[in-house]
Structure 1
Amino acid sequence: MNLHEYQAKQILRTGNISTPRGIAAANAEAAVEAARELGGVAWVVKAQIHAGGRGKAGGVKVVKSLDDVRAVAASLLGRKLVTLQNAPDGQPVNEVLVEETLPIARELYLSLLVDRETERVAFVASAAGGMDIEEVAHATPEKVLTETCDPLLGVQDYQCRALAFALDLKGDAFKDFCRLLPQLYRVFVANDLSLLEINPLVVTADNRVLPLDCKMSVDDNALYRRKSLAELRDDSQVDAKEAAANAANVNYVALTGNIGCMVNGAGLAMATMDLIQLEGGAPANFLDVGGGATPETVAQGFKIILLDPNVKAVLINIFGGIVRCDVIAEGIIQAVKEVDVKVPVVVRLEGTNAELGRKLLAESGLAILAAESLTQAARLAVERAQ
């Protein structure tokens, strides 16, 4: 689950990490009041969306008058901002963050993430921070530095110093940086984050180090014990179908094809999508209803899939292990009637009571095609979708 920049900075401040002063605003007049409250002669107005690349997309503006604060906020709020990191139709800007400006001498890059290869939290840093960090990582990977943390000891002083020396920090900036890293590590672990990215981490004109921007992602699997973080979820920033799936507690990822997929198990779902591609089709989604799928879950899955107007056929692939196939078949029949499905439905059942499940489908009187194998199911779904 992603957080907005202003939310991420609030969490940093709870970890005693200084950030630029800023106030979130949901309309242009509130943005002007925020600028007045902050004082000064210049401010930064930042669109709040769950995506990077806002600066290049015109979502971050430095303004030098209250009239400009109002104009920029009005131009951003209520519209979708398209960046290189979000969907083609962009994400809605419902709030802006009005911040004080800082005298910036240098821009650095710093992030914490879970390194799956080493199974540890890793610090990633670069002296080439700012909007072009992706290009730096691609063209000159040697400029990207990494330190992995022992899970028992956390980040060590020698690692902080090594990164500070590599970033050519001196004096107060060196001290600030070495204090900052352990603080960030504690925030990362305490909030079950999967990503904490600061880009840029700035060195100010008076040689202090400060997070100018912050992106945070929380591990979804930990939200059950992070209730206060779960309440920060902004479903307007994700696909409507993904938001519905989250409410139904199923795993859904929207894709661009026209064959809706409903499968119990992530590995089986991936195999199903591969076979659809092999047969010349394109999946419209990844939907894993879990190993303990129930008739209610199946009905909810149908509703989510059919929110996508591009779906021309639905392929259901269920392996009955924990749950019996005849129970799932009854759920499918109930769901097709309840949801009033208008597109062809192809079902492949395998496992416990698979024969009985297929018999129930065949005798339902509904336009449901029961397939004997996954390959046949994929082929039928592609044919019907065309």
Structure 2
Amino acid sequence: MDLYEYQAREIFQQYGIAVPEAETADTAREARHAADRLGGRVIVKAQVKTGGRGKAGGVKLATDPAAAELTARHILGMDIKGHTVRKVMLAQPVDIDAEYYASYALDRAAGRFLAIASAHGGMDIEEVAATRPEAVTRIPVDPAEGVTPTTAAAIATAAGLPPTTAPALQRLWQILTKEDALLVEVNPLVRATTGDILALDGKITLDDNARFRQTRWGDSARTHDDPLEATAAAKGLNYVRLDGEVGVIGNGAGLVMSTLDVVAGCGARPANFLDIGGGASAQVMADGLTVVLADPGVRTVLVNVFGGITACDAVADGIVKALETVRLTKPLVVRLDGNNAARGRAILDARAHPLVQQATTMDGAARRAAALATDAAAV
């Protein structure tokens, strides 16, 4: 369950983390009135459940209420990475002295949480993490011990953040544990010229298993701005759209996450996360392939299945079934291993679709999918 930024800031305020004064608006006219109440000069921010809003033009400074109305009219209805903007948030500007990054995320593999912080926050944090990994500090957090004032101070010191950020770091941990969150992120966490520490943006992902305790958000936390995610949700699929070109389908969250990493290691970007589950039927496979192929950014699709509860021949049947209803115009690389793998491979061989290729290993399949995506981009 992802929250919108304006919902995340409500939680930040509840836990004593300072945020700029702000209001939300569903129309350009409402935005004008909100800007007037906030003092005239405001930041107009698209409310969508995806990153990259600033670079996409979804975050703009408006100098007065009239400009806020015009800016909101431009932003409302925008498509940002497949997400339609239906609401904007208007916030009072802040004079910034320094920008930082801070988050807590669940590390499933290690059975603990991870504190991630950097003295180089802002829109380019992903580039910083990729090109200067040493500038991003990652510190394991024992769930039983949590983040004490001493721990928060240690995280701040290790990341090069000023000591005044430690209280916010501890409160972010309290949000993570008390609000059933899997991710709590602030980018940027800023030091204003006044010396105050404020959260200028926020992202919170709540645990779906805790929905019964998070009823205050109603259906808003479960809505999908992305039409493909909405379509997938209606079909009961565990699908998250990403920004890459290689569509990924697998059975089991761990296998899919590993596949994403392997694809990235081959020099390509995953276009999505799609877990068809441990007992997927041919229909589920067909539905999943249909959704992934509907993404215009996908240049090739990688199906990586290890047969256990899900038999590989059922997966192969699903692929064949999808090919009967979907016109395949992009290469499809399939790796089947485990239960009934030989039978599944034989089914695909018999179908002999010219755009379907098979690989025997995950690494080999990822390399082939990445190469095909690169070839498609060069055409």
Q: Which residue pairs with 2:290 in the alignment? A: 303
Post-superposition Cα deviations, 1:208-251, rounded to whole Å, max 9, x if no partner, equal 32222223334567668656567414422x4x434433332244
Alpha-carbon distance in 2 for matches of 1:105, 1:21: 15
Alpha-carbon distance in 2 for matches of 1:31, 1:323: 51
How far has the Cα of 1:332 moved from its partner? Answer: 6.3
How far has the Cα of 1:297 moved from its partner? Answer: 1.7
Alpha-carbon distance in 1 for matches of 2:60, 2:76: 13
Q: Which residue pairs with 2:33 in the alignment? A: 33
On the 8 A contact 1:110/1:123 being kept in 2, the answer is: no
How far has the Cα of 1:329 moved from its partner? Answer: 6.8
- Cα–Cα, structure 1 residues 2 and 318, in superposed 2: closer, same or farther, change >3 Å? closer
Alpha-carbon distance in 2 for matches of 1:358, 1:156: 54
Q: Provide the secondary structure at the position in 1 that maps to 2:98.
A: strand
153-162 vs 24-33, which moves further: 153-162
Residue identity matched to 2:89: L
Post-superposition Cα deviations, 1:167-192, rounded to whole Å, max 9, x if no partner, equal 445xxxx4xx4443332111112334
Q: Which residue pairs with 2:97 in the alignment? A: 106
Residue identity matched to 1:300: D
How far has the Cα of 1:9 moved from its partner? Answer: 0.7
- Cα–Cα, structure 1 residues 33 and 327, in superposed 2: closer, same or farther, change >3 Å? same
- Cα–Cα, structure 1 residues 149 and 351, in superposed 2: closer, same or farther, change >3 Å? closer
235, 256, 276: which one pairs with 1:289? 276
Determine whether 1:49 maps to 2:48. yes
How far has the Cα of 1:20 moved from its partner? Answer: 1.9
Post-superposition Cα deviations, 1:93-117, rounded to whole Å, max 9, x if no partner, equal 3321112234x35234141223748
- Cα–Cα, structure 1 residues 224 and 340, in superposed 2: closer, same or farther, change >3 Å? farther
Alpha-carbon distance in 2 for matches of 1:51, 1:372: 33
Alpha-carbon distance in 1 for matches of 2:17, 2:156: 18
On the 8 A contact 1:108/1:126 being kept in 2, the answer is: no
Alpha-carbon distance in 1 for matches of 2:110, 2:43: 39
Q: Which residue pairs with 2:143 in the alignment? A: 151
27-36 vs 144-153, which moves further: 144-153
Q: Provide the secondary structure at the position in 1 that maps to 2:177.
A: helix
On the 8 A contact 2:312/2:336 being kept in 1, the answer is: yes
Alpha-carbon distance in 1 for matches of 2:154, 2:245: 45
Q: Which residue pairs with 1:182 in the alignment? A: 170
How far has the Cα of 1:315 moved from its partner? Answer: 8.2
Q: Which residue pairs with 2:86 in the alignment? A: 94
Q: Provide the secondary structure at the position in 2 that maps to 1:106.
A: strand
Q: Provide the secondary structure at the position in 2 that maps to 1:322.
A: coil
Q: Provide the secondary structure at the position in 1 that maps to 2:221.
A: coil
Q: Provide the secondary structure at the position in 1 that maps to 2:201.
A: coil
How far has the Cα of 1:205 moved from its partner? Answer: 4.9
Determine whether 1:15 maps to 2:15. yes
Q: Provide the secondary structure at the position in 1 that maps to 2:19.
A: coil
On the 8 A contact 1:137/1:143 being kept in 2, the answer is: yes
Alpha-carbon distance in 2 for matches of 1:61, 1:187: 29
Post-superposition Cα deviations, 1:109-142, rounded to whole Å, max 9, x if no partner, equal 1412237486543444445544455566677766
Q: Which residue pairs with 1:61 in the alignment? A: 60
Determine whether 1:196 maps to 2:188. no
Gaps of 5+ in 1: 82-86
Residue identity matched to 1:98: L
On the 8 A contact 1:329/1:361 being kept in 2, the answer is: yes
Q: Provide the secondary structure at the position in 2 that maps to 1:202.
A: strand
**Structure of larger gyration radius:** 1
- Cα–Cα, structure 1 residues 327 and 41, in superposed 2: closer, same or farther, change >3 Å? closer
On the 8 A contact 1:6/1:24 being kept in 2, the answer is: yes
Post-superposition Cα deviations, 1:27-50, rounded to whole Å, max 9, x if no partner, equal 2101012123x3424222222234
Residue identity matched to 1:7: Q
Residue identity matched to 2:204: M
How far has the Cα of 1:293 moved from its partner? Answer: 1.5
Alpha-carbon distance in 2 for matches of 1:126, 1:372: 43
- Cα–Cα, structure 1 residues 362 and 205, in superposed 2: closer, same or farther, change >3 Å? closer
User: How many residues were matched structurally?
Assistant: 359
Residue identity matched to 2:66: D
TM-align CA RMSD = 5.1
- Cα–Cα, structure 1 residues 33 and 302, in superposed 2: closer, same or farther, change >3 Å? same
Alpha-carbon distance in 1 for matches of 2:256, 2:131: 37
Residue identity matched to 1:157: P
353-362 vs 119-128, which moves further: 353-362
- Cα–Cα, structure 1 residues 73 and 137, in superposed 2: closer, same or farther, change >3 Å? same
Q: Provide the secondary structure at the position in 2 that maps to 1:235.
A: coil
Alpha-carbon distance in 1 for matches of 2:191, 2:297: 49
On the 8 A contact 2:245/2:298 being kept in 1, the answer is: no
Residue identity matched to 1:198: V
288-297 vs 316-325, which moves further: 316-325
On the 8 A contact 1:108/1:125 being kept in 2, the answer is: no
Determine whether 1:6 maps to 2:6. yes
On the 8 A contact 1:347/1:368 being kept in 2, the answer is: no
